[in-house]
Structure 1
């Protein structure tokens, strides 16, 4: 869980709830959330419509896009829902404490997104470094199991979230001892950030080493790696890895400030308010909205698929071919007409000359 400010403080959210919805920071959050919804929806539509993108890796990417879409939508809803006044009903107030003020479902989806990014990285690791094991462990069925696990694990990691969030004097607080809060904060930091970070860093180092060895073997006399098909496959894999590596680096850049602030807050090194968390949370939200732009920038198939969405099902190449064909037909027709007129004029002149 990355939004742990409510875990260790007894701050009341009434001051935040009383502020206007149209504050600049709220407008930015709503706009970013809407961009995330639209961008990730376009990724899902592109993968579903373009057959060349319907492979195992892109199924994981589609699942990640769906999760980021949900995260972006929940973020927008949380901005609006925080404007609601606290309920007098204890059950409803506890729900507001856990889901609205604590953002329970939002952080579940964010953590699921993180674990799915780990799954994508491991899939590429096995495909490139351990291809035999990849065929065994990464069938469609196991891919579905991995995606399901990425949603189940966050509920296990954040199991105590709804249990230990209580209302005390009108404030939503996490009830626990100082040592318990410290252990809980360290556990969340490791489970939600450090472990995924270490796993993906190790995986990309192994992948890069394998690709580097494969590239050095290309062109060697008598080596099977010199085949054109193998060379093309190697380049395609390298491009996919480069794209996913950018996604990973973006994840690190967007989430590291938030994670460090939460860690310092939970272990007692700093006392931070929700307003101080606002800017770094917007940066963290950028992780969910940036991936579609990375796919479009680094992958031609995604760019073509997105263009097809705005060409009403016709690929840009088809539109270009039809336009070129039409121009060629028009050119041939003009040339034929010009030839016919020229022939008619010549015939008329010959007739006049013979009669003279």
Structure 2
């Protein structure tokens, strides 16, 4: 009887809205999707770990508010991709993922892991961290007098804690949308928040605004104001002379501002397809297409691996310090191998 129920449920499940970790049936997609997930995940772990190492080896950098937020961003990105690898969404295990079959553990697993709660919670922490960095740059360029008062060490620590809590709160809808069904192969089923479509429309619209539209608007507004301010400063510089120190300070500020602006643009490009597509699916405007859904998720994961490249490309100081770290690692490896060879040659 149980086998009959399982077969019926599986056949019905193929025509329903997929869970966040749904797999494509075609062999080609099954092979490509896990590879892309693992590739971007490993890349994100390595390059974000290097950014963390940079700050740990040069702790004086953490005196600047922007660098503390960037360290938070790197840490959260590493945690995100680690969870992706061990969860069903990463598809590393393919169809052999070890889902718990115990009725007491299964619902908890689906609510916490199957719903991808922490993946998106950390993801939204990253999104709002970029938004806070945009505000930080706005105060640095437009209101430097208030900058030191607002972005003190204690205030920045409170902001970082607030960003983590905010990410956890914004993703709270996920656990309520994942239901455990023990008689199917993939027991975590994605369900609507409520049975009322009108209420769902309101809820999903509010969630979309909070998760993506609001931080994107903050980012866009901040950099529009910054661009206008920088243009005015550039016009004034034509008729004014400044000390070398003043010019260098402005150059550094512009480098950091440009770096965060580039990271913001990449974030919007990588996140927009997933957020728009997910909203349209929840509102039943479009049908769920597994391949498109998974590709939009891959873009989100790719964003975590791209940020460190942006830091190094646009910031001369980061680039210099990163080269120093690579040189130290190379020297240690080189001298270690050399000592080994000498030791082997001794009779």
Residues 1:150 and 2:189 aligned together: no
Q: Distance in 2 between matches of 1:182 and 1:248?
A: 28
Aligned to 1:16: 23
Answering whether residue 244 of structure 2 is matched by residue 228 of structure 1, we say: yes
Name the TM-score, length of structure 2 as normaliser.
0.80
* Alpha-carbon distance between aligned partners in 2 of 1:66 and 1:15, rounded to the nearest angstrom: 27
> Aligned pair 1:207/2:226, yes or no?
yes
- Aligned partners of 2:260, 2:221: CA distance in 1, in Å? 14
Aligned residue for 2:190, secondary structure, equals strand
Using the TM superposition, give the Cα deviation of residue 13 of structure 1 relative to its aligned residue in structure 2, in angstroms: 8.4
Give CA deviations for 1:281-317 in whole Å, capped at 9, x if unaligned. Answer: 11121111001111111112212222222222799xx
What is aligned with 2:129? 116
| Superposition misfits of 4+ residues, deviation over 6 angstroms | 12-15, 17-22
- Which of these residues, 306, 312, 328, is aligned with residue 296 of structure 1? 312
CA distance in 2, matches of 1:155, 1:91: 24
SS for the counterpart of 1:90 is coil
Aligned runs of 1:31-50 on 2, under 5 Å? 31-50=39-58
Match of 1:197 in 2: 216
Contact 1:81/1:100, CA 8 A, preserved across alignment: no
Structure-2 residue corresponding to 1:342 = none
8 Å contact from structure 2 (residues 20, 190) kept in 1: no
CA distance in 2, matches of 1:183, 1:158: 16
Taking only aligned residues, the RMSD between alpha carbons, in angstroms, comes to 2.7
Alpha-carbon spacing, 1:29–1:208, altered in 2? closer, same or farther (3 Å)? same
- Greater C-alpha radius of gyration: 1
Which has the higher mean CA deviation after the structures are superposed, 41-50 or 151-160?
151-160
Unaligned 5+ runs, structure 1: 1-5, 316-356
Identify the residue that residue 86 of structure 2 maps to in structure 1. 77
TM-score normalized with structure 1 length: 0.78
Check the 8 A contact 2:24/2:291 in 1, yes or no: no
**Number of residue pairs aligned between Structure 1 and Structure 2:** 305
| Structure 1 Cα separation of the partners of residues 155 and 40 of structure 2 | 34
**Unaligned residue ranges in structure 2 (runs of 5+):** 1-12, 332-347
